[in-house]
Every structure is written in C-alpha cells, then in structure tokens.
Amino acid sequence: MDRSVLFFHQYIKLKLAMFGVFRRKVVSGGSSAPIIGKSWRRTRPAASTNADCLTSEGEASLHTRIIGNVRSICHVTHPGAAVNLRPLREVMTSLQPCVSMQLQNRMFSSDSGDLVDAVVPFMGESISDGTLATFLKKPGDRVEIDEPIAQVETDKVTIDVASPEAGIIQEFVAKEGDTVEPGTKIAIISKSAEAAAASSKPASKEAASQPPPPAAEKVEEKPKPKVETTPVTEKPKPAPPTPPSRTSASEPQLPPKERERRVPMTRLRKRVATRLKDSQNTFALLTTFNEVDMTNLMKLRSEYKDAFLEKHGVKLGLMSGFIKAAISGLQNQPIINAVIDGDDIIYRDYIDISIAVGTPKGLVVPVIRNAEKMNFAEIEKEINTLAKKANNGTISIDEMAGGSFTISNGGVYGSLLSTPIINPPQSAILGMHSIMSRPMVVGGNIVPRPMMYIALTYDHRLIDGREAVFFLRRIKDVVEDPRRLLLDI
C-alpha cells in the first residue's frame, strides 16, 4: 500500500477519536476545550449557516490534499442538533486518482489486449494434476487455433495443451517437468506477429545505442634483459612406494558412475508400477493354464478374410474370436465378471472387455463397451480405433475407464507362456500367447498343429478353481470350433 494512503487511514482514525470527545463537549455546552494537548476552534464555512467544520491549528502544515479531504469528513451542528457523518467513500474518491494510478500501471501495464494465455485443460474426474512432459513448439513459432503446443503427462494418459487463439508464441511461463493443474498458465500467445517482433526490437535498439567499448591502449613493452644463469642439476628422487590395495577379494567391483544414467520415471510408468504392486498385495492371485488348437479359427480367417475386408472395411483378426469366446465364458461363469467390494460381491450384468496395449510410453488398457452386443466386425473396428489412439497418444480418460475383464495378448511380442497380473478393480485376466506348431495326437496319429497356451489369472478369494477351469475350457471349445457360437452350445 502507498505511504500516503497508509498515513491517511491513520489520520482518519485519530480524527474520529478526537471527534467523539469533542462532540460530548459540544453537547454539554462547552464552546472549546483542550483536546489531546491541542486547542480546537470552530470555523463556520461560508456556504453553510448551520454546520461547523472542525479544524486543527497545529496541523495546518500537513499535506494540503489530505487535510482538505479530512476536513470534509464530518460536520458538527449546533448543540442539540443531529450529527451528520459523510461516508468514507466520498473522501476516498478524491484520493483515488493519485493512489490507484500507480497500482493500475503495475497490474495492467503488460496487458495490451493482444495477448492470450494458454492454460492446462480439464484432465478428467480422477486426475488433479500432471507433469508438463514436453513443448511441441518454440517461442516465436506461429500456431493456429486449437493446435497443440505442449503435452501434459498424467497417471493414465497424455493430454495436449492447445492454443486458444491463432498467433505467435511469445514466451513459455512453465518449464518441462513442472507439476501443473487444470487452469495453470503455461504460455503467452500474441494474436499479431507485430507484437512478437516488437519484443525483440528493444534489445536490438539498446545494443545499437550502446557505444562500442574503447579500444585497449597498446602499451609498448620494453624487452627485458636476459639474465644468464647456470643450470643446476638435481638428483632424481626415488618414487614413493605405492600403498597396497585395501580392497578385499570378497568386495564386489561396482561399475563406475560415469557408465550409468539416471532418468526420472514418467507419471504413467509410476502409475502402472503402483497399480501392479497393489494388485499383488491385495488379490490372492492364482493362475491356471490350458492349450488351444488354432487350426479351425485360422482356417476360418484364411477363407473369409478377403470378403470380410471388402464388406466391413477392416481386417479379420484372431482377437475378435477370442473376445467372442471370452464373452461366452463370462456368460456361463458370471462370477468371473464379478468383483469384491468390502463385504459384498458386485455382479455385473454387462461385459466391458479391456484390451492391454503396449505403447512406447507405457501400458494402457482401452475398453470395449458392451462387447456382448457386438458382432465380429464391430469388435474389429473398435479394436483398430482404440489401438491407433493408444499408439498416437490421443486416447482419452473415458476410453480407458472401467472394464470388467481384461485380455492381454503377449503373443504379438513372441511370449510363449506368462502369468498376467489382474487389472484392479477386476477379478480376472486372460493371457494369450504366441502360436507354435507342435506335434499333437489327433485320431491316434501324431500331426503338427498350431497351438497356443492360454492363461487365466484370477482372484482366488472370489473365484474357485472349478469356475476358472470351466471358463478356460469354454474358451478352448469355442476357439477350436467357432460353430458353437452359432448354435449356442
């Protein structure tokens, strides 16, 4: 606060205290009295015939503008008359131009009406903050409206920060690695190129206005006379013996720190690590296995893949067959689709299949909603759409929320066998693996067959081994003979 304003407030408090004592004197009939060591007199204004204005003789040398305002605070009428106090707002009006002028200049001097702020958007119901991962543009670059200028990494997804207006990026007010919340300003954008160009002119003008530094005066150095000295030969000292190494034979030899790199974990990686460890600490994990003969499903795909692509515009894969088989198994064993909530069991009457997708930034699990109502073509289209969004980093929070059962296909990376971990708050996860040609006994003969191991990890607190084995057996039957889906057997 300005010093004059502070002094003015203190002065008003003192005047009001004096006025209370003086009013009691006036009401009692006294014309004047010494108040706080000073004598007060009545001065009747020329324009008023019924009001007196209080003034102080000892304070005539104060700032005239402040005294003028203080004198207009109150008027005291004759004894027995009412007291009229003027509002303080009227007094502050005259001081406002000189006091608030500097405040306005300090607060709004940088706002020319041409600058807009780029802020972090809303990131989802369960996300309160994120990490500013990277800037996609540089100061001075031109951006269009809704063009991404930065990326914010959250626990679940990477969100783009878009430019609210078309213009030139003037500066970034946040740094990479900062923790930001929705509404945090990260950049200032100028809507015209002139403002951005003008910001670089003052620096160049100052550099041009500065006179060049004076040239250093050359000082002629006189040559020093050479002094001839006779060389002194010293005997070489023997080198001190090297101390023996104190490292014992049992101590491990650690690699030097120069050959190591320490990189901070991304928020997505930390979130995945936390959820997986919580899953191990919460669930009673148990995994059961089975193997599936892929001959008939692969034959079906080979025969109808061209007609399927021509009609539906998407390729026919093996994942849709396993999703339909998993839906049939979940309908036969509803406990696999349920979840424990405290002391209760929640049975879900819908089937939302989560598909684990590995991306360069980490593992994401988009969800296929109401998969029980979809056919093969709809499932393949949804898988294709979600997989592209996951790899491009454009998948949203809503597309990954929920899910009642997860399918993880490690076979695309060559995994032969694994024990997947449950994705909370689900109760089971199906693991698919690579297809390997192995010798199998068929009709008493040994023939090569394309075989796949499948694994089901489930929460043994809720699901017994009987239901888990029946579920895997149902998947095996449907995949080995897809005609069961048509006949519902």
- Locate 342 and state its tokens: 């405290």
Task: Tell me the torsion sign for CA atoms 455, 457, 461, 463.
Answer: negative
For the beta sheet containing 158-162, the strands, ordered from the edge strand earlier in sequence to the opposite edge, are 158-162, 148-153, 130-135, 179-180
Q: Within 10 A of 331 (CB to CB), how many other CB atoms are there?
A: 14
Determine the Cα–Cα distance for residues 41 and 31; give it in Å rounded to an integer. Answer: 8
Determine the Cα–Cα distance for residues 273 and 79; give it in Å rounded to an integer. Answer: 84
Residue 278 annotated to the active site: no
**Given the residues 129, 460, 477, 481, the one annotated as active site:** 460
Bond into 425 cis (ω within 30)? yes
- What DSSP letter does each residue of 367-430 carry, written as one string? EETTGGG--HHHHHHHHHHHHHHHHHT---STTTS--SEEEEEGGGGT---------TT-SEEE
**Given the residues 464, 477, 481, 488, the one annotated as active site:** 464
Instruction: Pinpoint the alpha helices (H) of 235-312.
Output: 267-282, 295-312
Non-local (6+) Cβ contacts of 207 within 8 A are none
Residue 460 annotated to the active site: yes
- Locate 323 and state its tokens: 């999703």
Residue positions annotated with a catalytic role: 460, 464
